Chain A
Amino acid sequence: MEWGAIWLTIRLATATTVILGIAGIPLAYWLAMTRWRGRFFLETLVALPLVLPPTVLGYYLLVLLGPRGFVGGISETIFGTRLPFSFAGILIGSILFNLPFAIRPFVAAFRAMDRRLVEASWCLGETRIATFFRVTLPICWPGILAGLVLTFAHSVGEFGVVLMIGGNRPQVTRTLSISIYDQVQEMRMEAAGQTALVLLMFSFLVLSLTQWIGRREVGV
C-alpha cells in the first residue's frame, strides 16, 4: 500500500473541499440570487470543467502557472515558490477542475429554497448575513453537503489535470490515481489492483452517502 500517496490524496481532497466550501458558498449564493445578465457567462465558466478534457485545462494551467506565466511569475517574485510540479500547483488545478461539482449543487440548493423565507426574515428585522446563517444555510445544508461530498470524492479520483501540472513526484504530486497508472506501467498488477479496490470502495461509500442525504432531504 502506498501510504504516501494515500496521505497526499487525502490532503489534496480535503484542501480542495475546504477552499471550495469557503469560497464557493458565497459565489453560489450570489449566482443563485443575482438578476445580473452576465451571470450566464459565469455559470458557463463554472460548468466548463464538466466537458473540457482535463489535459486541456492542465495545459492552460501549466502555461499560466509556469515561471513565465502570469500567475506563476507573480508567485515566484512574491512567495519564491514555483507552482508547477508542486502541491500548491495541483491544488489550484484540483480547485478549478472541481468548481462545477461544488458550485452547481450549491446553486441548485439555494435556488430551490423559497425566497420568501429570506424576505420574511428581513421583515422580522434580521440582517442579510444573519438571515443567511439562521435561515438559508440550515434549509440548504443537504444540498451543500452533497456538493462538498461530491467535490471530495471527485478530487480523490482526479488524474489528468494533476498529471499535467504536477507530474509524478512521489510524496509531492503522486496521488492514488496516478500511482495506479504507475503500477500498471511497471506491470505491478497486484499492487494496482489493491489501490484500485481502495478507490472503488471509497467511491461507492461516498455515492451511497450522497444518495442517503438526498433521500433524507425529500423525507423532511
Chain B
Amino acid sequence: MNSDLSAHFEKDFQRGPTIAVDFAQSTQGFSVTALIGPSGCGKTTMLRSLAGLTHPDRGEITFRDQIWFDCEQRINLSPQQRDIGFLFQDYALFPHLSVRENLGYGLRKHSAAERQRRVSEILTLFDLQRLERRFPAELSGGQQQRVALGRVLARRPQLLLLDEPLSALDPLLREQLRIELRQMLAQFQTPVIFVTHDRIEAISLADRVAVMDQGRIQQVGTVNEVFTRPKNATLARLVGIETVVPGEILQTDRGLVTVCVGQTRLLAVAPSTPTRLVHVCIKGEDVALSKGGDRAISIRNQLPATILSLTPEGPLVRVALECGFEITALVTRPASDELQLQCGDTVTAMLKTPAIHLIPRSV
C-alpha cells in the first residue's frame, strides 16, 4: 500500500507570485513536518489546499491510495471527504457551544455511547475535565488551544494540519507549550504538518522541515539538515541559524550546563525548561576563529577545528569547520585574509557561552 502524501500543484494569484508546490512525505505513524517561510510565501495556501479549503489551479494531490485532487480528472474531494484535522490559527472554536459540545461536534455520526467515550478520553488527555461546561469566551488562550486540538483529534483524522498553532498565544505561554504540544501530538499516531514563520518553533516541534519562499518549497530535510546545511545563501538567510545539532546535557551547575555534541563538550546557559535532550543552535556570526597564540580570553568554548570549505559572500566569508561536529562561522573578508584561512587549516573556533542557544527536544 502506498503510504505517502504527494502534492504537486499550482495556484495562481492576481497579486503575488504563483504558488507551486512539489511535496512528498511518508505518512506512516507519527511524524511532524514544519512548513516554514516568511509571511506571504504561500505556506498557508499549501496547507489549505491539502485540506480542500482552497482549490489549486493545476496539478494533483494524493494521500495513501486516495486521489484528493486531480485537475485533469476533475477530482476534488471536499474537506469532509478527506478525513483530515485542521487547526486554525485562532482556533475557530464555536462560540455558542460549550467545551464538551465543541469536542463532540465532529462525532455526530457515531453512537451516543462512542461519542461520550471519545469526548471523555479527550477531556482527560488534554486536562480539560474541569472546563467541560465552559464556553470558549471563558477560556484562556492555552485552554482554547487544547480544546481546538482535542476537537480535531477526537475524530482520529488520518492527517493533521496546523496553521501557526502557537502564534495566538502570548510569548511566555508559547515557550511552555512548544514542548507540551509535541508531547500531546505524540499520543496520537497521526502524521502532522504545521505552518510556522518561527524558526524556534520549527526546531522544537518538527522532525522534518520544508522551507518555503517565493511560492515554492526550496528545501526539505531533517531539522538538522535544513538549518545546518541550507542549499543556498538565500535559504541560509531564511533559516537564519547556521548550526543546529542534537546534543545532550551532561550536568548543570549554577545556571550553566555542559552539553555533549558527539565527542565535543560545550558550556552553555541552561534552557528555561529542564531537559536532557536539546538542539544546540549556533549562529555563524557568533563563531570567532583564531590561529595559534593563547591569550587570556573570556571565551569558554575553544574548539580545535579543521576548515572544510570557504565560501565568499560579499563582504563576508562563510567558513565550514569540523570540530567533532560541523559548524559554520561567518567572518569578514579582511579577517579571513589576515589569518590566511585555507581549506584543511587547523584553527580554534571560539564560542561565547551565551551565544549557544539550547532548544529542548524529545526523541
Contact = CB atoms under 8 A, between A and B. Distances in A.
B147 to A, nearest CB: 12
A122 B86 CA distance: 10
B86 A120 contact: yes
Max chain B CB contacts within 10 Å: which of A117, A124, A135? A124
A55 B85 CA distance: 56
Contacts of B22: none
Nearest to B151: A124
A80 interface: no
Contacts of A138: 96
A2 interface: no
Interface in A116-136: 116-117, 119-127, 130, 134-135
Given A126-B106, A135-B94, A139-B95, A120 B88 contact: yes
A186 interface: no
Contacts of A220: 95
A127 B80 contact: yes
Nearest to B154: A124
A114 interface: yes
A134 B101 CA distance: 11
B: contact size bracket: 20 to 34
Contact of A126 (B80, B83, B85): B80
Contacts of B88: 116, 119-120
Contacts of B80: 122-123, 125-127
B92 A120 contact: yes
Contact of B92 (A117, A125, A130): A117
Contact of A119 (B79, B109, B151): B79
Contacts of B95: 117, 139, 220
A1 B94 CA distance: 50
Given A119-B53, A119-B88, A139-B96, A124 B78 contact: no
Contacts of B155: 124-125
Interface in A78-132: 114, 116-117, 119-127, 130
A123 B94 contact: no
B106 A125 contact: yes
Contact of B109 (A116, A121, A125): A125
Interface in B92-139: 92, 94-96, 105-106, 108-109
Contact of A124 (B53, B90, B96, B106): B106
Interface in A162-220: 220
Given A120-B88, A120-B94, A126-B80, 12 more contacts: A114-B92, A116-B90, A119-B86, A120-B92, A123-B84, A125-B155, A126-B105, A126-B108, A130-B108, A135-B94, A138-B96, A220-B95
Interface of A: 114, 116-117, 119-127, 130, 134-135, 138-139, 220
18 contacts: A116-B90, A116-B92, A119-B79, A119-B86, A119-B88, A119-B92, A120-B86, A120-B92, A121-B94, A123-B51, A123-B86, A124-B155, A125-B83, A126-B80, A126-B105, A127-B80, A138-B96, A139-B96
